[in-house]
Amino acid sequence: MKTRILSGLLAIALVQFSCKEKNDDPQPNQDPIIGSWYLKTLQANGQTADVANLACYKDTRFVADEKTLTLTVSAPKQQGSTDCQTQSQSAQWEKDGGKYYMVANGQRSDAGIQLNEAGQTLQMMVTADGEPVTLTFQK
């Protein structure tokens, strides 16, 4: 992936989330989003890259507890580098009508989150450098 897309992802992560990690598996009657999710693929410009085992990217994760979503994004500082930059952001969340929202200052916005494959993958849509990017996570 291009360095500018990754830089944009990091910037978006800063705007939407902050640092907190919790590794809880969903219990019966809990929302399936609750738990720890790890980045599997990035999709941008019609291309999908499996990044699950690549340096830096493998440290990217999405963690949800009953009240808070936390996105930690890790990416190379420069294309081809193994020197990583990592940033985390958190937000309160709620679910309404099957859709996930981030809540801040009494206002809610679409979190861009969708569960697929019977809740086994989580996709998050973000915009980086004006381009849509799909992050796909797996528990």
* pLDDT tens series, the chain, 139 aa: 444 444 455 444 444 444 334 444 545 679 999 999 999 999 999 999 999 999 899 999 999 999 999 999 998 888 877 899 999 999 999 999 999 999 999 899 999 999 998 889 999 998 877 899 999 999 9
Q: Return the half-sphere exposure (C-beta side, CA atoms, 13 A cut-off) of residue 105.
A: 0
Please tell me the predicted confidence (pLDDT) of residue 29.
77
Long-range contacts of the stretch 22-29 (C-beta < 8 A, 24+): 22/63, 22/65, 23/63, 24/65, 25/139
The DSSP H or E segment spanning 15 is helix 3-16
> What CATH number did the domain enclosing 54 receive?
2.40.128
Please tell me the predicted confidence (pLDDT) of residue 95.
95
> What's the whole-model pTM score?
0.76
40 φ, ψ (degrees, to nearest 5): -110, -55
Total domains present in the chain: 1
Return the SS3 of 91. strand
Pairing of strands 113-116, 121-128: antiparallel
Q: What's the domain range around 91?
A: 3-138
Q: How many CB atoms lie within 10 A of CB 37?
A: 22
